[in-house]
Amino acid sequence: MNKAELVDALETRLGGKRQATVAVEAIVEMITLTVAKGDKVAISGFGTFEKQARNARTGRNPRTGEAVKIKKTSVPRFRPGTAFKEVVSDTKALRAYTAGAKERAASGLTSVAPAAPATTARKAAPATRTSAAKTAAPAAAPARKTATKAAPAARKAAPAKAAPAKAAPAKAAPAKAAPAKAAPAKTAPARSAAKTTTAARTTTAKTATKRAAAKKA
Amino acid sequence: MNKAELVDALETRLGGKRQATVAVEAIVEMITLTVAKGDKVAISGFGTFEKQARNARTGRNPRTGEAVKIKKTSVPRFRPGTAFKEVVSDTKALRAYTAGAKERAASGLTSVAPAAPATTARKAAPATRTSAAKTAAPAAAPARKTATKAAPAARKAAPAKAAPAKAAPAKAAPAKAAPAKAAPAKTAPARSAAKTTTAARTTTAKTATKRAAAKKA
DNA sequence: CCCCCGTGAACAAGGCAGAACTGGTCGACG
DNA sequence: CGTCGACCAGTTCTGCCTTGTTCACGGGGG
């Protein structure tokens, strides 16, 4: 769903496409600016937007493997709230939530009011929560440090698996044409090459050309 | 900033507290439901909400060190867009963005219109981007604007260095393999054949140049 | 209102480091 | 008043860097 579709979907609820558009843009801007200022935007039941500082670190160019220094920066972060997580992870919760939403949509169309139905719906959802506080967790930390060193192995495993997967496809196609890994050395990554070849479409070419022209100009 | 404050801040823009409240709730719900369905919600310049699957894994209660089984689930994820990241990380970008926002807020209050100012603002922002091309810049810089042809060379240089690094790990690198760009020629129509090769390179080069320029600016 | 263009967005690859997850409790918000 | 969110901590794991490339979207012009 893109922005246009979102606006379209909200059109009914907000009383017109204009309102919907303005609303979406306004909210987006507000959140953006607020987060930029350093304040967090907490929307209950949905999530929290906040500015998160990132320390400088040593990155790595995936293509070349070359190390690059990355200076500290700040990035926006969103932490989904409980309700949101539940609805996304739980189908039942989704239905419950949807029901509530419908009610709200119906009544809230022109009239402003109906928070009541919403609340009801909300209540229903929590009931399904699995978290409950039943475990008392008596003993503090008996064997906390029993850490298992299996980690490294596991880590390795994953990447290993990944590599083959990638290799296979790559090799398959370009075998005789232009080995991805090898050729790319020059400039183009394997897959690009293949694709380009196949789809060296005029359109694409044109677009590229145009772009170039535009930029140059 | 909590939800109430957000609504209050938007009150002016959206023509009343009621509208603001309805708008916020409607959007939140819409996003929640859409993500829950599995669709992603992409808002250009802001970010993308999507449902992300998480594999089952063995968790651990940090307090007790006790292992707990966590079954696979899905969680909502938000990936901030370029503009958002810029505004948050860059003070200058923030100011630019703020300026645009003000204009929009002022005119957009009752009237629907002014996207124009926004666009302007957006454009300005990218200019300030600090992100990339710097690396390539040094080489390209000297000839960039004068000699277009120089660009390709520069570009090549970077990748070239990369090649060895990657090649080593990858190992399979037939030197004779045709250059990616060249190879594709086969697909290309007669007249384009030669041209395509050339053109493609040029295009790429240009793009690189453009980007670099933009950044520099 | 439609079409085209420009520009944002996603992908991929390879390591490392920050981030998430769980969970009990207090504070805050609705 | 009821309930959601933040927090601490250890381990696991996910994202992030770059940069080219291609696709699609948003917006402006006709």
Q: Which residue has the higher pLDDT, B124 or A39?
A: A39
**pLDDT higher than threshold 60 for residue B10:** yes
The predicted-structure confidence for A156-213, as pLDDT tens digits, reads as follows 322 333 233 333 333 333 333 333 333 333 333 333 333 333 333 333 333 333 333 3
What 3-state DSSP class applies to A80? strand
User: CB pairs below 8 Å between A and B: how many?
Assistant: 313
Nearest Cβ partner for A98 among B33, B148, B173: B33
**pLDDT higher than threshold 60 for residue B20:** yes
pLDDT-based confidence at residue A107 (cuts at 50, 70, 90): low
Residues of B whose CB is below 8 A from A89: 73-75
Query: What's the rounded mean pLDDT across residues A73-84?
Result: 90
Cβ-based contacts (< 7 Å) between B 130-189 and strand C:
166, 169-170
Q: Do A36 and B97 touch (CB under 8 A)?
A: yes
For residue A142, give the amino acid letter.
P
How much is the pLDDT for A105? Answer: 63
How much is the pLDDT for A64? Answer: 84
How much is the pLDDT for A129? Answer: 39
**pLDDT higher than threshold 50 for residue B8:** yes
**pLDDT higher than threshold 80 for residue B75:** yes
Report CA-CA distances (Å) from A24 to B14, B78, B96.
10, 16, 20
The predicted-structure confidence for B78-117, as pLDDT tens digits, reads as follows 999 888 988 888 777 676 776 666 666 655 444 333 333 3
Put simply, whether the predicted model's pTM sits higher than 0.75 gets the answer: no
The predicted-structure confidence for B48-64, as pLDDT tens digits, reads as follows 998 888 888 887 887 77
How much is the pLDDT for A49? Answer: 92
How much is the pLDDT for A43? Answer: 92
How much is the pLDDT for A199? Answer: 32
Query: What's the rounded mean pLDDT across residues B121-141?
Result: 34
The predicted-structure confidence for A22-52, as pLDDT tens digits, reads as follows 889 889 888 988 888 888 899 988 999 999 8
Give the β-pairing of B73-80 and B67-70.
unpaired
Query: What's the rounded mean pLDDT across residues B129-134?
Result: 35
Q: Which residue has the higher pLDDT, A119 or A70?
A: A70
To the nearest whole percent, how much of chain A has pLDDT over 90? 5
Q: Do B22 and A177 touch (CB under 8 A)?
A: no
Residues of A whose CB is below 8 A from B188: 200
pLDDT-based confidence at residue A106 (cuts at 50, 70, 90): low
Q: Is A72 on the interface with B (CB under 8 A)?
A: no
DSSP annotation of A195: H
